[in-house]
Structure 1
Amino acid sequence: MKKLILFGSIFLIYSCNNVKSVVKNTKYNQANLFAVNSNDVDKIKILNFGTFHMGETNDANKTEFDENDNKNKLEINEIAKKLALFQPTVIIVEMPPEYDIKLQAEYQSYLLNPKMKFKNPSEIELLAYELGRISGVKRIYGIDHKMSYNYNIGAEMINSIDSLWHNKYYKNPMKYYPEIDIDQKNLNLLEKLKITNNNLYLDFMIEVNAEMLSHVGSDNAFEGADEATKYYQRNMRMYSNLNRLNLTSADRVFILMGASHTAYLRDFISRSPKYKMVNTFSYLK
């Protein structure tokens, strides 16, 4: 017991002496997030790419996008060419693992016939398949894990924690993020995706989808926080599905997700000694 206490004391002293170092090396520092060091050679390289959902989706928020428009398809193909410079060997998409056999079969059909038609193509068919075709990727997997949670709970109950701030925030959330408050209707697809993959936007996705719910609850309970925890749990389970895959340091993994999942995966991956996240903007030019 004395040894454990001594170790704890030493660790506490070490931590206190290195507070400034930790602050300087926060994950929000873009340079440090993607800095390369000698230990990275054995890590699995990941390009963690966020998008809006391009086809039909069950998500509450969907960006208006005509997935069958030829101009949009051409823009997607150009973006796929840019991302192909990453030279992925594996592609990960927002699909539950139980559909992997069907996903792989459809992907193989696309490789044989890139002009095949999809009734309601999503970012998977439009971007992931084309990126895989250009890059010669043979493996594609889904890591999604479906879990429902009530993100609208603050409007459905008597909120005893901080209803004024909660309601004020959701009335116009973009007001609090002037750096990313851009009229996306005037932007092309590449410009939209640059915003979607910006760290500020990814932070916003976590706040607006989950952490703001910590301001919701009754007098003696934590209803909002508990709902937010479900969303965190879903994303952690998706990360767990990623860790189930047989990946090696020779692999280069492209992950395509809705931006809120990208935001959580960014945090998980950036702390992991197993993975090395590459800078999306090195390819999204």
Structure 2
Amino acid sequence: MKRISVICGFLMSMWLSAQKIEVLNFATFHMGETPDTAKVKFDPKSEKSQKEVLEIAKLLAEFKPTVICVEVLPAENEKIQNDYQNFLKNKDFKTVYEGEVSLLAYQIAKIANVKKIYGIDEQETGQYNYRLGEQLKNQVDNVTYKRFITTFIEGFGKQENLSVKEKLIDYNKESTLQGLIEANADILTHVSTANNFEGADEAAKYYRRNLRMYSNLNQIPLSENDKVLIISGATHAAFFSEFLKRSPKYKTVDVFDYLK
């Protein structure tokens, strides 16, 4: 009886594994206007920049995605689909969505003949205060946050002279992704006044936003034959990486199988 149970469990795990949808979770910096505190030096109108991004698009298109998800609100899915179709029809069309959406997602979709682009962003959880650690007075620990953020910013400053590809390679490293979760959320748990949770409550807003973005992904109609490419800001990609590891539905594909 025990042997039968073990065999059944093994077969069930094999079946579940076989049904999983492949996901390529790609971390990028914002290639246009962004309200983010940390901005990467990048000129989207530069011919050199556009050429570099196109080379990345060609590499990622080799994944052959059937669906692409971007950092746009789901309420705009029809609008982004129309924008993409106009982009396909007219090479001189000025897209509504700029930055990494038009420069990267549209180009990949065009090369790979992707039919659907979905927005999975979420913005209803309230304004997130990245700078609370610099503003809150009478903190119990007024050292840890400042020390970490100073070191973190110095590290990102070293990327300034890298090529677009080199920056994106660095963004997609596991060490960078983990550092971004710490810098954008977890470090705030060190920010509080006595017997309070100001920083933790602020960090929870960002966790909530990313969980909701992941929920938006889960609401997209997909079949087991689909291959999903997610293109999002690196911190969102860092959270998705954690969620996808535990998913019964998805199987992550190594970015570096394509970003060579």
Q: TM-score, normalised by structure 1?
A: 0.82
Counterpart-to-counterpart distance in 2, 1:134 and 1:251: 17
Counterpart-to-counterpart distance in 2, 1:95 and 1:227: 23
Q: Give 3-state SS (helix, strand or coil) of 2:160's partner.
A: helix
Q: Give 3-state SS (helix, strand or coil) of 2:93's partner.
A: coil
- Which residue in the other structure is 1:116 paired with? 93
After the TM superposition, which residues 159-178 of structure 1 pair with which residues of structure 2 at under 5 Å, given as runs? Answer: 159-173=138-152
Compared CA separation, residues 69 and 183, structure 1 to 2 (3 A): same
Compared CA separation, residues 182 and 170, structure 1 to 2 (3 A): closer
Where structure 2 has 5 or more consecutive residues not aligned to the other structure, the ranges are: 1-13
Q: Give 3-state SS (helix, strand or coil) of 1:186's partner.
A: coil
* CA-to-aligned-CA distance 1:228-280 (integer Å, 9 cap, x gap): 00000000000011111101110000000000000000000111111000000
Aligned counterpart for 2:245 among listed residues 263, 270, 274: 270
- Which residue in the other structure is 2:129 paired with? 150
Q: 1:192 is matched by which residue type in structure 2? A: K
- Which residue in the other structure is 2:71 paired with? 94
Deviation at 1:115, TM superposition (A): 3.7
Aligned counterpart for 1:235 among listed residues 180, 185, 210: 210
Q: 2:227 is matched by which residue type in structure 1? A: R
Deviation at 1:117, TM superposition (A): 3.0
Q: 1:241 is matched by which residue type in structure 2? A: N
Counterpart-to-counterpart distance in 1, 2:156 and 2:184: 17
- Which residue in the other structure is 1:5 paired with? none
Deviation at 1:172, TM superposition (A): 2.5
After the TM superposition, which residues 19-34 of structure 1 pair with which residues of structure 2 at under 5 Å, given as runs? Answer: none
- Which residue in the other structure is 2:80 paired with? 103
Deviation at 1:182, TM superposition (A): 7.4
Counterpart-to-counterpart distance in 2, 1:159 and 1:205: 26
* CA-to-aligned-CA distance 1:94-133 (integer Å, 9 cap, x gap): 0010111110100111111234234882100100000000
Compared CA separation, residues 250 and 119, structure 1 to 2 (3 A): closer
Contact 2:69 2:119 in 1 (8 A): yes
Q: Give 3-state SS (helix, strand or coil) of 1:185's partner.
A: coil
User: In the alignment, is residue 40 of structure 1 matched against residue 14 of structure 2?
Assistant: no
Q: Give 3-state SS (helix, strand or coil) of 1:163's partner.
A: coil
Counterpart-to-counterpart distance in 1, 2:56 and 2:242: 24
Counterpart-to-counterpart distance in 2, 1:132 and 1:85: 11
Q: TM-score, normalised by structure 2?
A: 0.89
Q: 1:72 is matched by which residue type in structure 2? A: S
Compared CA separation, residues 181 and 128, structure 1 to 2 (3 A): closer
Contact 2:80 2:97 in 1 (8 A): no
Aligned counterpart for 2:193 among listed residues 207, 218, 222: 218
Contact 1:49 1:257 in 2 (8 A): yes
Aligned counterpart for 1:253 among listed residues 228, 233, 237: 228
* CA-to-aligned-CA distance 1:189-222 (integer Å, 9 cap, x gap): 1111000000000001000101000001111210
Where structure 1 has 5 or more consecutive residues not aligned to the other structure, the ranges are: 1-36
Compared CA separation, residues 120 and 275, structure 1 to 2 (3 A): closer
User: In the alignment, is residue 192 of structure 1 matched against residue 170 of structure 2?
Assistant: no
Contact 1:67 1:120 in 2 (8 A): no
Taking only the aligned residue pairs, the percentage that are identical comes to 46
Task: Indicate the RMSD between aligned Cα atoms, in angstroms.
Answer: 1.7
Paired residue total: 245
Q: Give 3-state SS (helix, strand or coil) of 2:118's partner.
A: strand
Deviation at 1:159, TM superposition (A): 4.1
Compared CA separation, residues 191 and 245, structure 1 to 2 (3 A): same
Question: Which moves more between the two structures, 47-56 or 72-81?
Answer: 72-81
